[in-house]
Amino acid sequence: MPAFLSAAAVLLACSILSARVKTPGTPSEWWKKAVFYEIYVRSFQDMEGGGTGDLAGIISRLDYLQDLGVDAIWLTPCFPSPQVDFGYDISDFRAIDPLYGTLRDFDRLVRECRRRGIRVVLDLVLNHTSDQHPWFKASRASRRSPKRDWYIWRDGKGEADPPSNWCSLFGGSAWTFDHATGQYYYHYFYQQQPDLNWRNPAVRREMVDTMRWWGRRGVAGFRLDAVDNLLEDPALRDNPVLPGKNAFGDPNMETRHNYKLKENHGILRQLRQVADQDGLVLVGETYTTSIDELQSYYGTNGRKGLHLPTGYMLAMEKTLTADICRRHIAEMETLRGWPVWTLGNHDLPRAVTRYGDGVHHDAIAKVLGALVLTLRGTPILYYGEELGMGNNDPRRKEDVRDSLGALGWPNAKRRDGARTPMQWDAGPAAGFTHGTPWLPVPADAGLRNVEVERKDPGSVLNFYRRLIALRRESPALREGGYQDLNPADPHLLTFARTHGDERVLVAINLSAETRKLTVAAPALAPAASRAKVRLATAGDPEGPGLPETLEPYGVVVAAFPQPERGKLVPGPTQYEDARRIAGILGGCPPSPSAPSACPSW
């Protein structure tokens, strides 16, 4: 927006457009106002000294999460497992792995979370089981086993020739030959993770019963893993082969026949019906490439899909600029569903490492927090992001714990670096364990940890705490309308959030240089000069008014005072300014001669 437009016109445009704000629905839709926090259970807190995190450790840190402002914790799988894929190979869906504790520990965790106003969301792997699950053991025992059709067994095309050319995401063929029964079984991931046959109604019933079983234990919902893999082409047609090879040496191919089949959405709609009946929320692991594709996971034609499909479109960007961010925000604002904002998870390199420049580490960590916590939708944080934790990648192949990283070494070190222990203090193992941690603690843990950052008012941790608290008390930040206030600025992302009479301005400098803040600057109008800074990375300036500049990767969040009743009476010039602003924002405010000219109102 040109700097010469009056702040009064900005306020007028925001007032007009706020009539179209999308607000959360029924009180039961708690997840629309919640801050989610992913806990990689192995790496959060170890109470037993074995070097691996456990449920008792999470319980011991619930006060920290409550103080941070977390509303829901997403636990990575803690079911019994051979740990080939660190818990994503499940051998019993209705128990807790002794590595992490017991069902009694889990029940206590739910109770303690409830006392603090925190909900528990479980990571549920629908697509596959471990090859050590009793179902698969029965299935491979005989071709006539009642469980045979619970998995996908097929004859090969010929001797030593699998049923199709499909490749595993983790390298090699997606088919493994079973000598005992003379057939191949299908696995999209490791061969120790055979895919369930979701075309079998018995499988669907069992997984629905599992969801309800955990729901009765107090779980608030599920993060559904690998929902794009539930169904495969029953004809097993070969995938088209593309030029080149991947990191595992397999031919590149278009996964047309065993990934993202449209039929998957029918299953998700059925699961949504169950979830709504039982008051559960469904978060979906979805990686989408367009807003239309993301929209399909919410449901179509009145048929509801997932509550919160993750999409990860912003997280897949290699760089974050103001233009890239505003494009994603504008697209997300068109969704017919509740947006999800997240930049990290246990499968991705940590966001501050991906987007860092090696110089402004903490400042960039704060920018990333501001991006997900000041937009309409549900933010999902990954443990340690609030500290500015970066990747700690293994330096030698023999140090790799993730077998996927060993397979791809050194071109694809994969996931160990983003899964290192939570950094609690400057002591041995960063306070994570009194034993030897399952992954090494980063060298900067002595300076970047909860104990140190709590004492530093300017730390990443205290920035997150204050911003989450501000979000909690601000309907505008949680659910208000969005207006881009400076769409031509390549460096500053500046926008207004509006809800009723509340007006909040957010400005984020996505560059490594100090930039002038020209939108609604103090000298433009009395309203702007009386704006109150609620949060700023440079420290809250003394007195009212916005700062004139933003430091490299700086953030400011400010509240505008409401115009006194009867004081904001738009004349022709103010109407023109408001129309120009709303034109930038995509609105259609009235003119003095045609006050109801916009039919969408």
The tens digit of pLDDT for each residue in 497-541 reads 999 999 999 999 999 999 999 764 343 345 566 789 999 999 766
- Of the candidates 54, 164, 59, 196, the one whose C-alpha atom is nearest the C-alpha of residue 114 is 59
Residue from 54, 71, 105, 225 carrying the catalytic annotation? 225
Least confident span in 89-103, 206-220, 480-494: 480-494
**Shared domain check, 259 and 285:** yes
Say if pTM beats, i.e. exceeds, 0.85.
yes
State the CB neighbour count (10 A cutoff) for residue 140: 20
Burial class (CB in 10 A: 0-12, 13-18, 19+), 102: middle
pLDDT band for position 579 (cuts 50, 70, 90): very low
**Shared domain check, 157 and 56:** no
Q: What percent of the chain has pLDDT over 70?
A: 85
pLDDT at 405: 72
Length of the chain: 601
Q: pLDDT per residue over 296-319, tens digit each?
A: 999 988 899 999 999 999 999 999
pLDDT band for position 120 (cuts 50, 70, 90): very high
Asked whether residue 577 is domain-assigned, the answer is no
Which of the pair, 14 or 79, is modelled with greater confidence?
Answer: 79
Q: Which of 433, 468, 503 is the last residue of a domain?
A: 468
**Backbone φ, ψ for residue 469 (5° rounding):** -65, -40
Is 285 a residue of the active site?
Answer: yes
Asked whether residue 193 is domain-assigned, the answer is no
* Helix ranges (DSSP H) in 263-416: 264-278, 291-298, 322-332, 351-354, 361-373, 403-408
**Shared domain check, 242 and 145:** no
12-27 exposure pattern, b = at least 16 Cβ within 10 A, e = fewer: bbbbbbbeebeeeeee
Q: pLDDT per residue over 147-177, tens digit each?
A: 999 999 999 998 889 999 999 999 999 999 9
Work out the average pLDDT over 462-488.
96
Asked whether residue 71 is domain-assigned, the answer is yes
**CATH number of the domain within which 401 lies:** 3.20.20.80
Q: pLDDT per residue over 439-461, tens digit each?
A: 999 999 999 999 999 999 999 99
Asked whether residue 551 is domain-assigned, the answer is no
Encoding tokens for residue 118?
Answer: 């925190």
Residue from 97, 131, 232, 285 carrying the catalytic annotation? 285
**Shared domain check, 237 and 158:** no
pLDDT at 397: 83
Work out the average pLDDT over 177-181.
97
pLDDT at 159: 82
Q: pLDDT per residue over 1-33, tens digit each?
A: 333 334 444 344 444 333 333 334 444 899 999
Encoding tokens for residue 274?
Answer: 């169950």
Residues in contact with 178: Cβ distance below 8 Å, sequence separation at least 6, in sequence order: 140, 153, 184, 185
Asked whether residue 6 is domain-assigned, the answer is no
Encoding tokens for residue 544?
Answer: 């009212």
**Shared domain check, 384 and 454:** yes
Work out the average pLDDT over 45-62.
98
DSSP secondary structure letter of residue 68: H
Q: Are 459 and 453 in contact (CB under 8 A)?
A: yes
**Shared domain check, 216 and 171:** no
Asked whether residue 219 is domain-assigned, the answer is yes
Site of tokens 């704060």 = 366
Q: Is the pLDDT of residue 119 over 90?
A: yes
State the CB neighbour count (10 A cutoff) for residue 352: 25
Q: How far apart are CA 226 and CA 94, in angstroms?
A: 19
Bridge partners (DSSP) of residue 245 are 251
How does strand 515-516 pair with strand 549-550? antiparallel
Encoding tokens for residue 27?
Answer: 């009180």
Work out the average pLDDT over 230-248.
96
**Shared domain check, 240 and 151:** no
Asked whether residue 79 is domain-assigned, the answer is yes
Q: How far apart are CA 474 and CA 476, in angstroms?
A: 5
pLDDT at 403: 77
Residues in contact with 283: Cβ distance below 8 Å, sequence separation at least 6, in sequence order: 36, 74, 121, 221, 222, 223, 224, 306, 307, 308, 309, 310, 340, 380
Is 225 a residue of the active site?
Answer: yes
Q: How far apart are CA 486 and CA 442, in angstroms?
A: 39
At 415, the amino acid letter reads: R
pLDDT at 543: 63
Q: Is the pLDDT of residue 58 over 60?
A: yes
Q: Which of 468, 483, 506 is the last residue of a domain?
A: 468
**Shared domain check, 230 and 181:** no
pLDDT at 585: 34
Q: pLDDT per residue over 370-411, tens digit each?
A: 999 999 999 999 999 999 999 999 888 888 888 777 777 676
Q: Is the pLDDT of residue 360 over 80?
A: yes
Asked whether residue 555 is domain-assigned, the answer is no
Report how many domains make up the chain: 2
pLDDT band for position 412 (cuts 50, 70, 90): low
pLDDT band for position 138 (cuts 50, 70, 90): very high
Q: Which domain holds residue 153?
A: 134-186
**Shared domain check, 362 and 380:** yes
Work out the average pLDDT over 408-425.
86
State the CB neighbour count (10 A cutoff) for residue 572: 10
**CATH number of the domain within which 141 lies:** 3.90.400.10
300-337 exposure pattern, b = at least 16 Cβ within 10 A, e = fewer: eeeebbbbbbbbbbbbebeebebeebbebbebbbebeb
Rg value, the chain, Cα: 26
At 50, the amino acid letter reads: G
**Shared domain check, 278 and 222:** yes
**Shared domain check, 353 and 429:** yes
Q: Is the pLDDT of residue 600 over 50?
A: no
DSSP secondary structure letter of residue 223: E
Which of the pair, 115 or 547, is modelled with greater confidence?
Answer: 115
Q: Which of 453, 468, 483 is the last residue of a domain?
A: 468
The helix, strand and coil proportions of the chain, stated in percent and rounded to the nearest 5, come to: 30, 15, 50
**Shared domain check, 211 and 150:** no
Work out the average pLDDT over 286-293.
97
Burial class (CB in 10 A: 0-12, 13-18, 19+), 409: middle
Encoding tokens for residue 478?
Answer: 């949680």
